[in-house]
Amino acid sequence: MLFFAPPSNELYLFIIASSLMVYIGVLDDKYDLSVRSRLIGQFIISSFLIYGLGFYIENLGNLFTLGDVHLGDAGIIFSFFLIVGAINAFNMIDGIDGLLGSISITAFGSLAFLGFYYDNAYLFQACALFICCLIPFCSLIWGSFLALK
């Protein structure tokens, strides 16, 4: 991202938040952190993303076919739970080799499609970059799995 994306505060905050997430994961693998300390770290990461970038979910769209659902300030709390929930959901599926990478490729592929469809070049390029980074990882896992058969 540092080589291909234009430098901006959003990029730096994203890289800091991602680095903190990796750091917490390494600490958890080494010291088997408690759920409480992992959640505190995940809420700190969420704070960087929500307050640092100023992005949070304000509107759920026409979710119930009764018109747009506006969250107002509750969108900040909703965004906290979404980010922490997504981090934990991806953490839970990390037990099977290649599954997390494959699901990540699918998620980033969907986001890349939306970025392409809505002419958001930054979203498309960032997701394509993540997919390119994940394919070698998954192909190593898939190749070793196929070699066992």
Is the confidence at residue 149, as pLDDT, over 70?
no
Indicate if 23 and 69 belong to the same structural domain. Answer: yes
H or E element at residue 38? helix 35-47
Indicate if 100 and 48 belong to the same structural domain. Answer: no
pTM tops 0.85: no
Name the average pLDDT for the chain: 86
Phi and psi of 70, rounded to 5°? -90, 130
Indicate if 114 and 139 belong to the same structural domain. Answer: yes
Question: Which of the pair, 68 or 2, is modelled with greater confidence?
Answer: 68
| Distance (Å, whole) CA 65 – CA 29 | 44
Q: What is the CA 106 to chain-centroid distance, rounded?
A: 12
Indicate if 77 and 141 belong to the same structural domain. Answer: no
Is the confidence at residue 146, as pLDDT, over 70?
no
Indicate if 55 and 120 belong to the same structural domain. Answer: no
Domain end: 69, 95, 121, which one? 95
8 A C-beta contact, residue 124 and residue 112: yes
Indicate if 81 and 103 belong to the same structural domain. Answer: no
- Convert the pLDDT of each residue in 56-107 to its tens digit: 999 988 888 888 888 988 999 999 999 999 988 888 886 666 788 888 899 9
Residues 18-33 have a mean pLDDT of: 89
Q: Which domain holds residue 131?
A: 96-149
Indicate if 62 and 110 belong to the same structural domain. Answer: no
- For the chain, how many structural domains are there in total? 2
Gyration radius of the chain's alpha carbons: 17
Please give the structure tokens belonging to residue 26: 């390494």
What does the pLDDT read at residue 7?
A: 82
If DSSP codes are grouped into helix, strand and coil, which group holds residue 77? helix
Indicate if 79 and 142 belong to the same structural domain. Answer: no
What does the pLDDT read at residue 144?
A: 59
Residues 6 or more apart whose Cβ sits within 8 Å of residue 122: 5, 115
Residues 42-47 have a mean pLDDT of: 92
Indicate if 103 and 39 belong to the same structural domain. Answer: no
- Convert the pLDDT of each residue in 129-139 to its tens digit: 889 988 887 77
Please give the structure tokens belonging to residue 84: 């922490």
Indicate if 121 and 86 belong to the same structural domain. Answer: no
Q: How confident is the model at residue 6 (pLDDT cuts 50, 70, 90)?
A: confident
Indicate if 105 and 53 belong to the same structural domain. Answer: no
Indicate if 36 and 70 belong to the same structural domain. Answer: yes
